[in-house]
Amino acid sequence: MRRLTRLRAAADTKGAPYLFIAPFFLLFGVFGLFPLLYTAWVSLHDWSLIGGNEGFAGLDNYARLLSDEKFWNALVNTLGIFAVAVVPQLMLALLLADTLNRAIRGRSLFRMALIIPYVTSIAAMAIVFSTLFGTEFGLINQLLGTVGIEPVNWRGGRFSSWAAIAVMIDWRWVGYNTLIYLAAMQAVPRDLYEAADLDGASRMRQFFQITIPMLRPTILFTVIVSTIGQMQLFTEPAVFDTGGAMQGGTQGQFQTVMMLVFQEAFRYGDYGYGAAISWVLFWIIVVLGAVNALLARTIKGAP
């Protein structure tokens, strides 16, 4: 009896931690790892939405992808929108966080307001933004008209569509990143600022020489998270598009890689090719993540 209890106690202390983390790994295995490997498997086959597996194709899907203009177009669009959206987004978030970190009136109210776009339903956002960016009846073009600027066909041009989508992305994510920065700023020891004050350093100087260096790990974290998120960009350009065909504009001027995956797999029924594109996208993200991590190590080493 006693031996059994002891055994159980040993199993408790040794086994329990694994038991506690098991649900995550089980769920990850079922909803993360399995689909990932299955996608790789599908990508090596001629696989149609309706007919299912139509035979082994080797690397045919990947070979096709390399010479597929639409894939490269989608990749350029994804990277382009990433650049246009994320750089201003993180800079704006930093400035907002710094402002909200000061003793200003109604601070809590502003902090709460920041998160509202993040919790707003995407459907509502889609309606608001497609109304704003309309060519004929859009509010933005009407405002531009009052200062004599010709109406812009936001969806028609490559850069205009990127800009409009970047606005939608930033509207949604600036608040989220601001809150992360704000949390990190509050962990910066106050005495650093007090010392700087005594030395007569300006607010600007304090921001660049104390806040930014102290926030480095956090900034890197947000860059990595944004990279992963933005490479899979789908929702904003999809709702910005007219019709549900995932074409990304009349000539694919804002079709992202994920939209192409959706179009190939679900609109054209070519699962195998869709799987190949998503698998390549996965490796692009892994590589970008690795680059980020390397950068992080180098920067951390710097004074």
Partner 1 sequence: MLLATACGGGEGSDGGEVTLTIDTFGVMGYDALLQQFEEETGIAVEERNVTDLADYTPQLQQNIAAGSGAGDVVAIEEANIAQFLSQPDRFVDLAEHGAEDRQGDFLEWKWEQGTTPDGKIVGLGTDIGSMGMCYDTVLFDEAGLPTERDEVSELWSTWDDFVSTGEEFADAETGASFVSTIQPYFRAVMSQNGGAPYQDEEGDLVLESNDDTRAAYDTVVGMSDLSANLPIWSEEWNAGIQNNAFATLPCPSWMLGHIENTAGDGGAGRWDVAAVPGGGGNWGGSFLAVPEQSEHPEEAAQLAQFLTSVEGHLGAWEEANTLPSTVEALESEEVTGFTRPYFNDAPVGEIYATTAMELEPVYYGPDTQAIDDAFRAALESVEQGQADADEGWDTAVSEAERAAG
Site for partner 1, rule CB under 8 A: 49-52, 127, 130-131, 134-138, 153, 155-156, 242-245, 247, 249-251, 264, 266-270
- The CB-of-295 to partner 1 minimum distance in angstroms stands at 38
* Block residue for tokens 């892994």: 286
Q: Report the nearest approach of partner 1 to the CB of residue 62 (Å).
A: 17
Of 216 and 267, nearer to partner 1 (C-beta) is 267
Rounded Cα distance between 253 and 240, Å, is 12
| CB neighbour list of residue 257: distance below 8 Å, 6 or more residues apart | 71, 74, 75, 78, 231, 232, 277, 281
Please identify, using beta-carbon distances, which residue of 210 and 265 lies nearer to partner 1: 265
* Smallest separation (angstroms) from partner 1 to the CB of 206: 46
For residues 132 and 296, which CB has a smaller minimum distance to partner 1 in the complex? Answer: 132
**Cα 256 to the center of its chain, rounded Å:** 13
Q: For partner 1, which is the closer residue by CB, 74 or 231?
A: 74
Closest to partner 1 by CB, 98 or 270: 270
State in angstroms the smallest separation of the CB of 163 from partner 1.
17
The CA dihedral of 83, 81, 182, 175, to the nearest 10 degrees, is 160
Sequential DSSP letters for 269-299: -BHHHHHHHHHHHHHHHHHHHHHHHHHHHHH
Distance in angstroms (rounded) separating the CA atoms of residues 256 and 248: 7
CB of 244 to partner 1, least distance (A): 3
